[in-house]
């Protein structure tokens, strides 16, 4: 099918939510990496999913609106996903890179609405790290309506929270989820936070397509 785009509001900001495939049942929601945007068509690795396949452009990315003067945080992007949950109801999430980091956080915060999360490789996967980003920028192009917003790349490229911060959200998911294996790691490249998540006894590892099938 031709990609269809609907627009949601997160506060005053307009978000682009793309439908890549129609279907019956729970949607599969794709979250892209930092500086990326949603795919133009349905990825082949989602072919086993019989429900709708959706893809969200985060704030400052793709066809979503660019805020004035930045102010990007993982929690802000979590609120982007919240807007989708409010509009579409429960979903299964596949997060790529930074989308995996946000996907895990929203799965822990909204366990009744996130029916499983798959974490796999992509841009901006650093997540928690020991050093904060520099608070000073000498020269930064005016963002205007251009995406990806340079402020997003700067502010989200290094989240200063320690790797074990992610483990708090793993515990939230494992304690409250109604499904047996709600977190699946399909990533080969694993920054500290993702390595810590993968090592948790309640988290399983599967190839990407098999991981998606496990939630179908």
Mean pLDDT of the chain: 89
- By percentage, how much of the chain surpasses pLDDT 90? 73
- Give the model's pLDDT for residue 164: 84
Which is nearest to 60 in space by CA: 15, 99, 22?
Answer: 15
- Give the model's pLDDT for residue 56: 98
Q: What are the Cα distances from residue 134, in Å, to 71, 131, 155?
A: 14, 9, 9
152, two tokens: 């997003």
Report the sign of the C-alpha dihedral through residues 99, 78, 85, 174, in that order. Answer: positive
Q: How far is Cα 197 from Cα 192, in angstroms, rounded to an integer?
A: 9
Q: What is the largest CA-CA distance in the chain?
A: 50
- Give the model's pLDDT for residue 79: 97
Comparing 15-29, 57-71, 89-103, 153-167, which segment has the lowest mean pLDDT? 153-167
More confident residue, 86 or 164: 86
More confident residue, 186 or 71: 186
Read off the pLDDT of each residue in 179-188 and give the average, rounded to a whole number: 95
Comparing 15-19, 127-131, 196-200, 209-213, which segment has the lowest mean pLDDT? 127-131
- Give the model's pLDDT for residue 144: 55
> Is 151 within 8 Å of 64 (Cβ atoms)?
no
- Give the model's pLDDT for residue 80: 98
What is residue 174's three-state secondary structure? helix
Q: How confident is the model at residue 133 (pLDDT cuts 50, 70, 90)?
A: very low
Which is nearest to 187 in space by CA: 58, 92, 100, 78?
Answer: 100
In order of their start, the domains of the chain are 4-215 (3.40.50.1820)
The answer to whether residue 139 scores a pLDDT higher than 50 is: no
């Amino acid at each position: 099918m031709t990609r269809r785009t609907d627009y949601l509001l997160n506060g005053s900001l307009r978000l682009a939510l793309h439908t890549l495939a129609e279907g019956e049942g729970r949607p599969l929601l794709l979250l892209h990496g930092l500086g990326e945007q949603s795919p133009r068509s349905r990825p082949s690795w989602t072919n086993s999913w019989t429900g709708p396949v959706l893809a969200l452009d985060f704030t400052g990315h793709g066809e979503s609106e660019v805020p004035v003067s930045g102010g990007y945080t993982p929690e802000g992007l979590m609120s982007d996903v919240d807007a989708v949950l409010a509009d579409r109801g429960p979903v299964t999430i596949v997060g790529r890179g930074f989308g995996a980091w946000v996907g895990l956080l929203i799965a822990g915060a909204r366990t009744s609405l996130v029916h499983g999360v798959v974490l796999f490789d992509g841009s901006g996967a650093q997540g928690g790290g020991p050093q904060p980003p520099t608070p000073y920028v000498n020269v930064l192009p005016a963002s205007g309506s251009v995406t990806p917003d340079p402020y997003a790349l700067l502010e989200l490229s290094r989240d200063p929270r320690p790797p074990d911060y992610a483990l708090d959200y793993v515990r939230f998911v494992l304690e409250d989820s109604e499904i047996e294996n709600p977190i699946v790691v399909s990533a080969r490249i694993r920054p500290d936070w993702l390595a810590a998540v993968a090592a948790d006894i309640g988290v399983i590892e599967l190839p990407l397509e098999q991981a998606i099938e496990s939630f179908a």
